[in-house]
Amino acid sequence: MDSKALTKVQSAALIAIIVVAAVGGGAAYVLWRANQPPPEDIRIGICADLDGTAGSGIFRGATLAVEQINAEGGLLGRNLTVVTEDDDTETPPGDIAVASNALTKLITVDKADYIISTGSLVFTYQDICSEHKKILFTIGSTSVEHTQRVVDNYDKYKYYFRYGYLTNATAMNDGHVQSIAALGNAAGFTKIGYLLPDGVTMRDETIPYLDRELPKLGFEVVYRGVYPSATVDFTSYFAQAEEAKTEVLFTILTNLPKSATLVNEWYERESPMVLCGDIYGVPDAGFWNTTQGRTEFVLARGNSATLGYPLTSKTMPAREAYLKRWGVPMKGSSASAYDIVKFILSDAIRRAGTTETEAVIKALETTNVETIMARRFAFTSSHDILVEEAGMTNLAESHMLYIVMQWQNGKQVPVFPESLRLEAGGTYKFPAWQGPWSSTQTP
């Protein structure tokens, strides 16, 4: 065999050796990969009173979102899982130590990557999450001071974001005033009264705001009622408001039994006033049955999750999936938690390309995504909810709205903002008994 032939044989042998090695190495790599544990789940932590109305709603909303995301392939190749700790914040009298320990355990033992909680102990939870560098979303907080902390000390409190059917007190108060003005303009009402709970926020923020702004819009404030937190009978307040010739009684209640009591008393006495306000429980689908239909014609601040109106393309599919999964209608707290996990946080993680905290914070700050409650949700520079002006006329790509619904024949009809009322084909309606509306035609 000549040298050239030998060289060809040697080359062929060398190639064969390389191929075998490559195939063997590839097989070894595949076997090594197969023996590796799957990537750890992204852990969504819920710190709330899991036996309470808000806490259980948050758990259900977040769980549904996690199940749907996992069914769609997860995030960045990882599944999500929900971990929980019960902080007892909806169980009187509440204990800061119990709540603080619950959140700390959620982070250090349960290894939660992101936290969702109610608005009960925001300052405390902000500090704990800042210490552990964990992103915190709260649902149901309204204090401007919560998000002001982000502005005043960004490096410490940049981990905090507010979301939900409630927004800051300033936007809420403006929504109250503008919705009352819309009702007054539609029906010709000019005499306003309000019945508010005793408390620092009402005394220092809401009452002065109403007193200052309503007269500018042509209203005369004829009745000012402040009720103690222990109140269970509103008869005397109704009598005083009626004596003052109140046409519209605006109220704020944060307790479901009180809301049912107030509505029942108003209906049974055939009070000659329109009842409206920020009334807890009234927007929920079950409130009609709770009051046996006595909530007819009551107006209350609501949200698209409980309204049953397709405000966005996400609203009705989420409501239907929630009802099928849990057997109960979606509420504001469950819709908020669902939005956070399904749309807001998942969008930020995808855009960041990582779950690393700093990168996700930056992505959250540039959020522009459709949710159940907003056609184009975004955060403000203080990590607060970007809310549209209450009197806006263009809904095409609106941010979070202050929505007022009215119960009519067992259904919730959107009546504010005006642009939403017109889009939905809604009208204001009033009781058959005598009142300031008796000779009024409304749109």
Residues 129 and 196 in one domain: no
Residues 228 and 267 in one domain: yes
- Using CA atoms, how far residue 72 sits from 48, 69, 79, 362, in Å, is 27, 5, 10, 25
pLDDT digits (tens, 9 = 90+) for 43-55: 999 999 999 888 9
Residues 66 and 206 in one domain: no
Q: What φ, ψ does residue 400 adopt, rounded to 5°?
A: -60, 135
Q: What is the mean pLDDT of the chain?
A: 89
Q: Which helix (H) or strand (E) holds 214?
A: none
Q: Could you check whether the bond before residue 417 is cis, i.e. omega within 30 degrees of 0?
A: yes
* Total number of domains in the chain: 2
d(CA 191, CA 281): 26
pLDDT digits (tens, 9 = 90+) for 235-281: 999 999 999 999 999 999 888 888 999 999 999 999 999 999 999 88
Quick one: tokens of 192? 């306003």
pLDDT digits (tens, 9 = 90+) for 89-148: 888 777 899 999 999 999 999 999 999 999 889 999 999 999 999 999 999 888 889 999
Residue 85 has pLDDT above 90, yes or no: yes
User: How does strand 135-139 pair with strand 411-416?
Assistant: unpaired
3-state helix, strand and coil shares in percent for the chain, rounded to the nearest 5: 45, 20, 35
Residues 285 and 325 in one domain: no
Residue 27 has pLDDT above 80, yes or no: no
Q: Is residue 255 part of a domain?
A: yes
Q: How long, in residues, is the chain? A: 443
Q: Is residue 8 part of a domain?
A: no
CATH number at residue 93: 3.40.50.2300
Token match 């937190």: residue? 229
pLDDT digits (tens, 9 = 90+) for 56-65: 999 999 999 9
Of 300, 299, 235, which Cα lies nearest the Cα of 261?
235
Residues 83 and 205 in one domain: no
Residue 38 has pLDDT above 70, yes or no: no
Q: Is residue 199 part of a domain?
A: yes
The angle that helices 332-339 and 315-326 make with each other, rounded to 10 degrees, is 110
pLDDT above 90 as % of the chain: 71
Residues 186 and 75 in one domain: no
pLDDT of amino acid 46: 98
Helices (H), 109-141: 122-132
User: How does strand 248-253 pair with strand 220-227?
Assistant: unpaired
d(CA 410, CA 307): 12
Residues 342 and 407 in one domain: no
Residues 91 and 121 in one domain: yes
Which domain range does residue 69 map to? Answer: 42-139+312-364
CA dihedral 348, 351, 352, 354 (to 10 degrees): 90
Residues 288 and 420 in one domain: yes
Other CB atoms within 10 A of residue 114 CB = 25
Residues 296 and 334 in one domain: no
User: How does strand 160-162 pair with strand 191-197?
Assistant: unpaired
Residues 273 and 179 in one domain: yes
